[in-house]
Amino acid sequence: MQRLRSFRHANFARAGIAGGLILGAALAHAHGDGSPRGGPLPASPADATPPPITVLTSHRGTARGLIFVAPKTAPGGATAPAPVQGPEIIDDLGRPVWFHAVTGGDQAADFRVQRYRGQPVLTWWQGQSHTGAGHGEGVDYIVDRSYRVIATVNAGNGLAADTHEFRLTPEGTALILVYHAVPYDLSAVGGSAAGSVFDGIVQEIDVASGAVLFEWHSLDHVGLDESHAPVPAAAATTYDYFHINAVSVDEDGNLLVDARNTWAFYKVHRRTGRIIWRLGGTKSDFALGPDAAFAWQHNPEAVDRETVRLFDNEAAPAVLPHSRVIWLRRDSRDHTATLIRWLQHPDGLSAGSQGDAQGLENGNTFVGWGQTGRFSEFDPSNNLLFDASVPAGYDTYRAFRHVWHAQPDGPPSVTAARNPDGTTTVHAVWNGATEVARWIVVGGHHAHDLHRLAAASWNGLDTAITLTTGASYVAVVAEDDGGHRIDQSAVVPIEPN
């Protein structure tokens, strides 16, 4: 089935976002010692309508779960004075399930489901960029299934957590990245002797205490001569020679560290920090087979002990005409790396920045096409099953599919207004409630004497229901697939037209 659908909420602002989350810059950067947080969170502003998602293609065979994106304004994109952006959960029709509006100039990235202390949680980075495009300084958040912030993670040693990665481990630690500008003599690579360079840093932090357990610096292990990025002509411009953008845990417990600007990723010993091997770039320890070379890449992930999957941007500037996802198999005896599978988007998308690829439980692959704002799902034969896009002027750094079951702490909210034709439109909103299958509207002429007036299937974060029967007061009841009551809103009067 082919769809071209953009799900919008014309009346979303009327109902607000009950149980929503807004963490402005002041709150976002006040926390960060790693200590648990709790309690209800403020509701999002009344005008925080989620960025509409357009579903372009939808076929049978997609994996279970919801879709996790974080629409943000792209450079030169949305021009509204305060564009709405933030983490957003949607279903396969593009309908929002949960939205968190970030404010104060913040953006969000790397939004997904992980596990913390054995439980599924939502995680994301939130902050701003003050030291250059393509990276940022902020705080990492962990939110439980009631949408309460249970922990925040800051970088240690006086540094700031970067936008690219917030990865939880089974040991209760978080792997994060940092960009740190340091003075550096660049004359050996044709730059200024009084220049500066971004040191790409990995930290492993104990979430509960905030203690830094491990710290790795690119400048200690990778020279500027490995970079494909041009050296800045102006001494005042910091050289982003490495552009660290991912860290993950390999099958043996050591780390895979990715550097966009060296066209390589590195296996790093998790205790000593030494580089065990390089794959790609100018000093690769593996000879790359036909079509196995990659450029400006993101998000290498171990598939098994010999295979790595990564998002191969091939731009920008362009090396190949299209971005792709590739699977590379290493042979440690022959020191070779062979391309065993690749896929690209049928539209020939080229992502000049950002991007990721996620292996799903049914063998499918979910791909975020970075700067293009597109995200897709492919089956094991590379057939496109799902394709969607954030609005024009936005992008999403990564995109994921996860199974997620959650219920906000607070009850649903409802508003109702009389229309000129005598009907009444009821808006039922419960931000983040994943188990609601239908809404039951109850009402009457007295607040304490209500009876069933209508029912409607859940249709996104703001479900609009039209009543043709008269009433002065209404409430909504959320039911699950089995017809069981989950919770009920307060009783509200119907507003006159």
In tens, the pLDDT along 202-258 reads 999 999 999 999 999 999 999 999 999 999 999 999 999 999 999 999 999 999 999
**pLDDT value, residue 34:** 40
* 4 — pLDDT class (breaks 50, 70, 90): very low
**pLDDT value, residue 497:** 76
Q: What average pLDDT does range 91-98 have in this prediction?
A: 98
**pLDDT value, residue 74:** 79
**pLDDT value, residue 78:** 55
Q: Does residue 64 have a pLDDT over 90?
A: yes
Q: Does residue 67 have a pLDDT over 60?
A: yes
**pLDDT value, residue 11:** 41
Q: Does residue 478 have a pLDDT over 70?
A: yes
Q: Does residue 465 have a pLDDT over 60?
A: yes
3-state secondary structure the chain: CEEEEECCCCCHHHHCCCCCECCCHHHHHHCCCCCCCCCCCCCCCCCCCCCCCEEEEECCCCCCCEEEECCEECCCCCCCCCCCCCCEEECCCCCEEEEECCCCCCEEEEEEEEEECCEEEEEEEEEECCCCCCCCEEEEEEECCCCCEEEEECCCCCCCECCCCEEECCCCEEEEEEEEEEEECCHHHCCCCCEEEEEEEEEEEECCCCCEEEEEEHHHCCCHHHCCCCCCCCCCCCECCCCEEEEEECCCCCEEEEEHHHCEEEEECCCCCCEEEEEECCCCCCEECCCCCCCCCEEEEECCCCEEEEEECCCCCCCCCCCEEEEEEEECCCCEEEEEEEECCCCCCCCCCCCEEEECCCCCEEEECHHHCEEEEECCCCCEEEEEECCCCEECCCCEEECCCCCCCCCCEEEEEECCCCCEEEEEECCCCCCCCEEEEEEEEECCEEEEEEEEECCCCEEEEEECCCCCEEEEEEECCCCCEEEECCCEECECC
% of the chain surpassing 70 pLDDT: 89
Q: What average pLDDT does range 436-461 have in this prediction?
A: 97
Global pTM reads: 0.92
